[in-house]
Amino acid sequence: MERQAIEDLVHGWVMAAADHIRQAMDQPLTVNEKSSHKDIVTNLDQETERYLREQIQTHFPDDRIIGEEGEGQQSDSLEGTVWIIDPIDGTANFYGQGRHFAIMLGRYVDGEGQFGVIYDVMADDYVSAWQGQGVTWNGQPFEKPFDDKPLREGLIAGNGSYALHNTHRIQDFIDQALGFRIYGSAGLQVLYVLRGDLLLYFSPKLAPWDVAAGAVIAREAGLSFSQFDGSRLDLLHKGSGVIGYPSAYQQFVKYLAVEAAWDKM
């Protein structure tokens, strides 16, 4: 199937899934805890993942899938074509606020990101990128607003627990920025970096579905998105992640390298 046909197909899936979420979110939700009361899954997370899996399996029966809610067989390899799905990124926001959540899909071929989509459901922002084709925002070519900016002149965002517990003395790094924000959705924070609202976003524990779509979009936008030590994102296991503009990103990676070295002494 040609690139444009795949992009159009996925756009239709995402819009249909989002319509279902918006129509059903005012109805009583079934909510279950996963690892803790802060880590929840709703019936709409599960329904959305099942729908996306069904569409992929119908149109691309040979492709494999990794999904957050495990609503079907999970691929344990990145060989061949693999779709990585987050049906509702920011479930706590979805449940607690009714906004600030996203649908995300990444398509990988032999471990390389081919296509990524992040859709902010309530803001109606559809951001996608295809390998070598740049980024589109609501169907229009997108360029980031600036190439770089000093850390002290911009906001950064990150994992709340990591910051509150001052792991790796991260508050010393945070103090170098103009301010710090916590948004509760990895995908949306990628978009906020993309459009220059943030200079950096970091989290010590991101799952493959948290980063797969954003990694393709970041690469096509010319932004760095890696693990804390600068190595490639792990798309099969949970790992750290940091995305940012050059100065802020490089400062973060250097700072964490020094702090990690001190912690080993």
Structure tokens at 88: 């509702």
Structure tokens at 191: 């978009």
Q: How many CB atoms lie within 10 A of CB 117?
A: 25
Answer yes or no: is 68 a known binding residue: yes
Give burial (CB, 10 Å; 0-12/13-18/19+) of 138: exposed
Cβ neighbours for 33, distance < 8 A, ≥ 6 positions apart: 39, 40
With CA atoms as reference, report the closest residue to 135 among 66, 219, 204, 201.
219
Answer yes or no: is 210 a known binding residue: yes
Answer yes or no: is 19 a known binding residue: no
DSSP E strands, the chain: 31-36, 39-42, 64-67, 81-89, 102-109, 112-120, 125-130, 135-137, 140-142, 155-158, 179-181, 200-206, 224-226, 239-244
Which residues sit in the known binding site for Mg(2+)?
Answer: 68, 86, 88-89, 210
Which residues sit in the known binding site?
Answer: 68, 86, 88-89, 210
